[in-house]
Amino acid sequence: MTILKTDALTLRAIDYSETSQIVWFFTRDHGRVHLMAKGARRARSPFEGALEPLVRGEILFYRKRRTAKDEDSLEILKEFDPRDAFPGIRRDLARLYRGTYVIELLRELSIPDEPMPELFDAACLALDRLARGEKRVLDAVLVAFELRALRASGFEPSLGRCVECDAPGPEGRGPGALAWFGPIAGGLLCSEHKGADSRAFQVPCEALRALAVLGSDERPRARLAFGSELVREVRRVLDAFIAHGLGKELKLPRYVAQDDA
């Protein structure tokens, strides 16, 4: 048995017994780990309530030597040193929805024991900006994170060219121009190939361009804010793509539809 120390984000805490919880962490060095937090439910817990989702900190845990037989057995959380509970996110509903969605997406995209440091860094950067950034950039921060997270997971949408025939996409078309997006096909479709995806729908070319810009900038700043109409179209594309890729609807879209960020 080895003791390991790593930077981590709390993803989920599940009550396990009268006194213990199983906590999911997304760690920078070891991917997702599920650890037994003994005593976490006691009134005088060694973890002092810090194990709720959406906290960044440093964990110390015991790593077992895995054999096929005990592959599913739980490892033990020894210490959690919370460094940032993102109070800025918790103060405001629009920020909280988006921060919670980052965590929800990490739960889906992270893989047990598989390090994805670029996804971890992108998540920490996004949470930091959701906590401290201006309100008008929140949607762009989230979209930039989603695109980075999809890339790190190996399934990003194709936005520049038709996924079927490689015909050039929305570049250079005038305002108000529409393009076809196929969530099952995995991206842009030219008008000849729109039938290749039974769920293909039309979106303003501007929305696909906004996605391409947000996906390419390492640290988008000036171009971060975009209007609510464009946000709606961009979300329609991403929500459909992600729901198809994960095989399930996530919770954020329905909350964002109600808020006024």
Closer residue to Zn ion (CB): 88 or 183 = 183
* 106 scored as a contact of Zn ion (CB under 5 A): no
Task: Tell me which H or E stretch contains 203.
Answer: strand 201-204
Rounded CA separation 87/52 (Å): 13
Closer residue to Zn ion (CB): 85 or 167 = 167
Among 193, 194, 209, 235, binds Zn ion (CB under 5 A): 193
CB of 206 to Zn ion, least distance (A): 20
Closer residue to Zn ion (CB): 195 or 227 = 195
* 165 scored as a contact of Zn ion (CB under 5 A): yes
Closer residue to Zn ion (CB): 94 or 167 = 167
**CA distances in angstroms from 13 to 7, 97, 149, listed in the order given:** 17, 18, 22
Characterize 123-133 residue by residue with b for buried, 16 or more Cβ atoms within 10 angstroms of its Cβ, and e for exposed: bbbbbbbbbeb
* 190 scored as a contact of Zn ion (CB under 5 A): yes
Could you tell me the end-to-end alpha-carbon distance of the chain, in angstroms, rounded to an integer? 48
* 162 scored as a contact of Zn ion (CB under 5 A): yes
Q: How many CB atoms lie within 10 A of CB 111?
A: 12
Residue type, 253: P
* 56 scored as a contact of Zn ion (CB under 5 A): no
Closer residue to Zn ion (CB): 190 or 210 = 190
For residue 57, which of 36, 30, 84, 23 has the smallest C-alpha distance? 84
Among 4, 60, 167, 243, binds Zn ion (CB under 5 A): 167
For Zn ion, the binding residues (CB under 5 A) are 162, 164-165, 167, 190, 193
